[in-house]
């Protein structure tokens, strides 16, 4: 094996029940190299990180060679002992403990000490911070530091582990421009000391600044590794998005009058200057990367996340929506991303779930529930949305993902909304059922409802939306006619910084 | 020093000073050495148990069985002394052992079966209460051996009582000092102590860096039991008799002292000094209101109100911090 290589993975696959998350991946990281791992949401980056960290075991037949030694799989301890340290997006730090402890306590745990030598602990911590060339008070609780400084603490901890390769998962997502510069400076100094960095990110302009090689994943498949001089951002994007799954397009037959208009909606730390219109019969897709502020906008429209400023105009009248209850009264319904935890009460029956938001209409005199009417309503929606099996008494958790999604949609349709907001409508649903959900959404629109669909799946966006809004870092960076847009165009707006176009 | 001025402990100390001034204006006996010593002696049991509860609350747990546990240990130790031996050392060993075993049972259920602490300890509370009622029938134990009664009357040293005479500092206070010191060392200098903070701050990360959370849970509920056993023996040395019903509702006072002492009921924060101040604050409020001839029911109302205010401040601060958290870095 090449002496310059720190780690070489080949034939790495990972199968979960029903899904092949990784399919025959390879990856090589040289000593002292900054290597970028890129791919869309769901491309398999996180799964690969977990295999490197020893949390997941790859399928049979994988080889992992670290510093010349060959393994079939890793365990968390083995991975750490080989010097592979992952800095997760949440850093895995302790807000209530001092900076010194956060950096160095893992050493004591590893040595199985019973007592803590504070002097030594502070020495180890301050040495690690010195190596990074940063000055942070060792004694203050970590929670009092800015996110950027917490990240430096996480990197210092990695040094204490004697890291040979540091994996950074979206390290710049919460940093300002100046903080990113400092991080890059530190990454370069780590590189000079022979430490490899695997940099996982969506932000192409940043990747081009620090990385020397790129490995691209798409739908769990290896799309190749490229040197910085043989690739540019257009090529990277086409490698990332060229998905095989394509749906036949169903656009709107006719779009009616404006039902909802949003003007300059702002909320500090969430989104800025959001303006768009939604018409009867129209499906507006809001797409972009996870963390771009899409869900926050949707939550602002349904009263969960009240905006700081801006106007929401519903059927020509300006409205204020301060709670989900008010949103429902105004005819805005929200189907959240996680069916299991936010959308449904999975241990109750289909009927109980569907009728929950309209309970007030089902009570008779003395506030007693009219059970026959309740059953009738449930039956009606089971039929309308073709929920299978059609048993009102069956517990929600016993239905398949696709049918659970129909149940959530039914639940909100029962409130007779004018505007339906659906967050990631086909998340975790198998391919056939996805198609049916798309058709259902299109059918609802054609009956005159205005629909806002938040989706990361570009084929889905292209299949049914009439207008596509792309968000990036809290703003709308692209607006397209759904009839006339490509995945590449959308991805460009989602990941590239307009102000500083990147050419390799 | 600068840090102390800004700390939660400083805030509690200020409240204690203000309340003390108010009470001593109303009744000059409040600040007399004999009253202060009586007050401290009367709250050593609360203080010792609060040390265990502090550890529990730092991890975000709670133990509501401690009232039942301390009562049970007083009965067991009392019966032991009446039937077997009046040896003081043996009484302490038996008491601490019984307490530790009961605590360990709580710990094992909480750690191994992942049952919420409130559910496990509510259950053990009811079981212990039931068993004790069956065992004692509610009758008192009065014939505590002379040797143990004499031990309870020992004093450490004498101080002026403020009226020309001298007053002894009771030996029971020594046990509170020891319990506080041991707890402080555990929390500050042992790896398991730091693990308790780590677990309260971020359990997922604590497990990731190699802490065995089950072991920590079993340790801290056992320690809670241990100090409860110690407190039971100290209590018996003060009262010189055993009333099986003396501790009904006492668990709430222990939790109250810890929470008043600035520990975060949601986990992650709390100190020995703060908890001692919390115990003192509770003691002063109880004692002062009696001295000022304010009816007993007011004590309960005031203590309850202070607790709710203290916890509300914590929760509001946390919510405020969450609200201002940047979710998307807007360019």
Least confident of A216-230, A462-476, B156-170, B199-213: B156-170
pLDDT in the model for residue A502: 41
Scanning A156-175 for CB atoms below 8 A from B yields 173-175
| Residue of chain A whose alpha carbon sits nearest to that of B196 | A97
| pLDDT at res. A226 | 93
For position B2, what pLDDT does the model report?
56
On whether residue A503 sits in a domain, the answer given is no
CB proximity list for B312: less than 8 A, separation 6 or greater: none
Look at B209 and A106 and tell me if their CB atoms are within 8 Å: yes
Return the minimum-mean-pLDDT range out of A319-323, A345-349, B293-297. B293-297
Contact at CB, B327 and A109, closer than 8 angstroms: no
Contact: A92, B328; criterion CB under 8 Å: no
Task: For residues A437-448, give the mean pLDDT.
Answer: 91
Q: Taking residues A228-246, what's their average pLDDT?
A: 79
Predicted local confidence at residue A501, as pLDDT: 42
Asked whether the beta carbons of A290 and A300 are under 8 A apart, the reply is: no
Q: What is the DSSP string of A55-88?
A: SSPPPTT-EEEETTEEES---HHHHHHTTEEEE-
By the 8 A CB rule, do A102 and A128 touch? no
CB atoms within 10 A of CB A484: 8
CA distances in angstroms from A126 to A121, A138, A153, B164, B202, listed in the order given: 9, 7, 11, 56, 23
Identify whether the C-beta of residue A159 lies closer than 8 Å to the C-beta of residue A85: no
Q: Based on the domain organization, do A278 and A367 belong to the same domain?
A: no
Binary contact (A96, B209; C-beta < 8 A): no
Q: What is the DSSP letter of A502?
A: -
- Could B189 and A97 be called an inter-chain contact, meaning their C-beta atoms sit closer than 8 Å? no
Are both A140 and A91 inside the same structural domain? yes
Domain end call among A241, A259, A292: A241
Same domain, A198 and A233: yes
User: Considering only alpha carbons, which residue of chain A is nearest residue B189?
Assistant: A116
- What is the average pLDDT across B221-230? 97
A81 at B interface, C-beta within 8 A: no
| pLDDT interval class at A156 (50, 70, 90) | very high
The pLDDT assigned to A349 comes to 93
List the domain range (segments joined by +) for residue A169: 5-241
- CA pair distance A77, A480, nearest whole angstrom: 49
Q: A504 in a domain, yes or no?
A: no
CA–CA gap between residue A331 and residue A325 (Å, rounded): 10
Higher-confidence position of A497 and A496: A496
Q: Are residues A59 and A174 in the same domain?
A: yes
Domain identity same for A295 and A163: no
Query: DSSP for A338-406?
Result: -IIIII--TTSBHHHHHHGGGGGGGB-GGG-B-HHHHHHHHHHHHHHTT-SS--TTSBGGGS-HHHHHH
Which residue would you say has higher pLDDT here, A205 or B99?
Answer: B99
Residues of B in contact with A179 (CB under 8 A): none
pLDDT at A144 over 90: no
Question: Same domain, yes or no, for A435 and A391?
Answer: no
CB-based contact A113 B191, cutoff 8 Å: yes
DSSP labels, B15-81: HHHHHHHHHHHH-GGGGSHHHHHHHHHHTHHHHHHHHHHHHHHHTT---TTHHHHHHHHHHHHHHHH
What is the tens place of the pLDDT at every residue in A467-490?
999 998 899 999 999 998 988 899
**What pLDDT is stored for residue B324 in this prediction?**
63
DSSP-derived 3-state class of residue A325: helix
**Residue extents of the structural domains in chain B:** 43-138+149-157+168-312
pLDDT digits (tens, 9 = 90+) for A253-284: 888 999 999 999 999 888 999 999 999 999 99
Residues forming beta bridges with residue A311, ordered by sequence position: A263
Closest CA to A334 of A360, A307, A295, A362: A295
How far is the C-alpha of B300 from the C-alpha of B286, rounded, in Å? 9
Q: A336 in a domain, yes or no?
A: no
User: Which residue in A471, A400, A467, A413 sits closest to A443, CA to CA?
Assistant: A413
What does the alpha-carbon distance between residue B272 and residue B197 come to, in Å, rounded to a whole number?
13
Per-residue model confidence (pLDDT) at position A195: 94
HSE, CB side, 13 Å, CA atoms: give it for residue A209.
Answer: 16
Which of A108, A173, A474 minimises the CB distance to B191?
A108
Q: Which of A50, A115, A294, A493 to mutate to test the interface with B (most CBs of B within 10 A)?
A: A115
Q: What is the mean pLDDT of residues B230-248?
A: 93
- Do A229 and A303 lie in one domain? The reply is no
The domain that contains A162 carries what CATH number?
Answer: 3.40.50.300
User: Is pLDDT at A1 greater than 70 in this prediction?
Assistant: no
pLDDT one-digit tens code per residue, B87-103: 999 999 999 999 999 99
d(CA A472, CA A207): 17
A189 shares a domain with A282: no
Give the pLDDT band (50/70/90) at residue B26. Answer: confident
More confident residue, B327 or B277: B277
Q: A159 and A279: one domain?
A: no
- % of chain A with per-residue pLDDT over 70: 97
Q: Which residue of B has its CA nearest to A497?
A: B331
Q: Is the pTM of this model over 0.80?
A: no
- What DSSP string runs through A168-233? EESTTTT--HHHHHHHHHHHHHHHHTT-EEEEE-S-HHHHHHH-SEEEEEETTEEEEEEEGGG--H
User: Is residue B4 very low, low, confident or very high in pLDDT (cuts 50, 70, 90)?
Assistant: low
Candidate from B211, B269, B324 with C-beta closest to A96: B269
Q: How confident is the model at residue A500 (pLDDT cuts 50, 70, 90)?
A: very low
Same domain, A384 and A422: no
- Across the A:B interface, residue pairs with CB atoms under 8 Å apart total 90
A205 touches chain B (CB under 8 A): no
Contacts of residue A291 in chain B, CB cutoff 8 Å?
Answer: 327-328
Mean pLDDT for chain A overall: 88
Please list every residue in chain A whose beta carbon sits closer than 8 Å to the beta carbon of residue B197. 94, 96-97
Verify that A211 and A230 share a domain, yes or no.
yes
If asked whether residues A428 and A390 sit together in one domain, one would say no
Contact across the interface for B210 and A176, Cβ inside 8 Å: no
Closest chain B residue to the Cα of A172, Cα to Cα: B329
Tell me what percent of the residues of chain B surpass a pLDDT of 90. 58
d(CA A363, CA A375): 13
Count how many domains chain A has. Answer: 3
Which of A13-22, A102-111, A358-367, A474-483 is most confident? A474-483
Note whether B205 contacts A474, CB cutoff 8 Å.
no
Phi, psi of B322 (to 5 degrees): -65, -40
- CA B71, B73, B77, B83 dihedral sign is positive
Check whether A374 has a pLDDT greater than 50: yes
Domain presence at residue A184: yes
- The whole-angstrom separation of Cα A283 and Cα B300 is 60
């Amino acid at each position: 094996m090449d002496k310059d290589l720190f780690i070489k993975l080949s034939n790495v696959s990972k199968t979960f029940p029903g899904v092949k998350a990784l399919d025959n991946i390879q990856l090589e990281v040289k000593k002292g190299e900054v290597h970028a791992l890129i791919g869309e949401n769901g491309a398999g980056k996180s799964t690969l990180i977990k295999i490197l960290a020893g949390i997941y075991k790859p399928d049979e037949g994988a080889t992992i060679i670290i510093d010349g030694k060959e393994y079939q799989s890793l365990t968390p301890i083995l991975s750490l002992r080989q010097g592979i340290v992952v800095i997760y997006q949440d850093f895995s730090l302790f807000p209530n403990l001092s900076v010194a402890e956060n950096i160095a306590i893992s050493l004591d745990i590893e040595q199985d000490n019973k007592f803590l030598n504070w002097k030594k602990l502070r020495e180890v911590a301050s040495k690690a911070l010195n190596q990074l060339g940063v000055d942070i008070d060792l004694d203050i609780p970590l929670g009092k530091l800015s996110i950027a400084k917490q990240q430096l603490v996480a990197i210092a901890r990695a040094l204490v582990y004697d890291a040979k390769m540091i994996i950074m998962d979206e390290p710049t997502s919460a940093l300002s421009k100046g903080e990113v510069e400092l991080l890059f400076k530190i990454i370069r100094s780590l590189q000079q000391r022979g430490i490899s960095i695997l940099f996982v990110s969506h932000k192409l302009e940043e990747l081009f600044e620090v990385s020397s090689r790129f490995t691209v994943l798409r739908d769990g498949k290896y799309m190749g590794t490229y040197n910085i001089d043989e690739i540019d951002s257009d090529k990277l994007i086409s490698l990332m998005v060229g998905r095989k799954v394509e749906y036949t397009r169903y656009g709107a037959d006719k779009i009616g009058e404006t039902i909802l208009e949003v003007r300059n909606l702002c909320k500090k730390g969430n989104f800025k200057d959001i303006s768009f219109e939604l018409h009867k019969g129209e499906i507006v897709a809001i797409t972009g990367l996870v963390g771009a502020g899409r869900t926050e906008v949707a939550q602002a429209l349904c009263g969960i996340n009240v905006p700081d400023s801006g106007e929401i105009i519903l059927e020509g009248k300006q409205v204020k929506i301060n709670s989900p209850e008010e949103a429902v009264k105004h005819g805005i319904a929200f189907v959240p991303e996680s069916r299991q935890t936010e959308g449904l009460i999975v241990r109750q029956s289909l009927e109980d779930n569907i009728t929950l938001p309209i309970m007030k209409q089902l009570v008779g005199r003395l506030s007693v529930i009219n059970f026959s009417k309740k059953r009738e309503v449930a039956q009606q929606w089971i039929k309308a949305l073709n929920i299978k099996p059609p048993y009102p008494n069956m517990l929600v958790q016993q239905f398949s993902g696709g049918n659970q999604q129909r149940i959530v949609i039914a639940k909100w349709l029962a409130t007779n909304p004018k505007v339906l907001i659906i967050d990631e409508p086909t998340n975790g649903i198998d391919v056939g059922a996805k198609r049916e959900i798309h058709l259902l959404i299109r059918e609802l629109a054609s009956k005159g409802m205005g629909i806002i669909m938040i989706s990361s799946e570009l084929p889905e966006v292209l299949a049914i939306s009439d207008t596509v809004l792309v968000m990036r870092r809290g703003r709308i960076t692209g607006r397209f006619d759904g009839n006339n847009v490509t995945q590449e165009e959308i991805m460009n707006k989602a990941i590239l910084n307009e102000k500083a176009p990147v050419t390799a | 020093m600068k840090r102390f001025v800004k700390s939660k402990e400083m805030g509690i100390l200020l409240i204690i000073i203000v309340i003390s001034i108010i009470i001593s204006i109303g009744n000059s006996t409040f600040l007399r050495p004999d009253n202060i010593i009586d007050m401290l002696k009367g709250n050593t049991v609360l203080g010792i148990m609060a040390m265990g509860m502090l550890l529990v609350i730092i991890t975000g747990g709670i133990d509501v069985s401690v009232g039942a546990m301390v009562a049970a240990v007083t009965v067991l130790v009392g019966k032991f002394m009446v039937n077997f031996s009046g040896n003081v050392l043996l009484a302490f060993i038996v008491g601490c052992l019984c307490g530790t075993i009961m605590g360990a049972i709580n710990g094992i259920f909480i750690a191994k079966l992942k049952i919420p602490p409130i559910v496990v300890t509510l259950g053990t509370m009811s079981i212990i209460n039931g068993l004790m009622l069956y065992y004692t029938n509610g009758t008192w134990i009065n014939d505590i051996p002379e040797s143990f009664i004499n031990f309870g009357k020992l004093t450490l040293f004498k101080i002026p009582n403020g009226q020309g005479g001298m007053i002894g500092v009771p030996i029971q206070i020594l046990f509170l000092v020891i319990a506080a010191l041991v707890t402080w060392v555990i929390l500050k200098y042992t790896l398991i102590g730091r693990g308790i903070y780590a677990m309260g701050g971020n359990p997922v990360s604590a497990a990731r860096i190699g802490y065995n959370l089950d072991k920590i849970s079993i340790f801290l509920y056992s320690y809670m039991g241990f100090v409860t056993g110690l407190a039971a023996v100290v209590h018996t040395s003060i009262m010189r008799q055993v009333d099986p019903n003396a501790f009904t509702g006492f668990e709430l006072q222990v939790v109250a002292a810890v929470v008043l002492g600035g520990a975060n009921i949601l986990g992650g924060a709390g100190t020995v000094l703060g908890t001692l101040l919390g115990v003192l604050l509770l003691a002063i409020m109880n004692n002062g209101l009696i001295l000022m001839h304010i009816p007993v029911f007011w004590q309960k109302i005031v203590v309850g109100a202070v607790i709710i205010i203290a916890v509300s401040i914590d929760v509001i601060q946390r919510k405020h911090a969450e609200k201002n958290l940047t979710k998307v870095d807007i360019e």
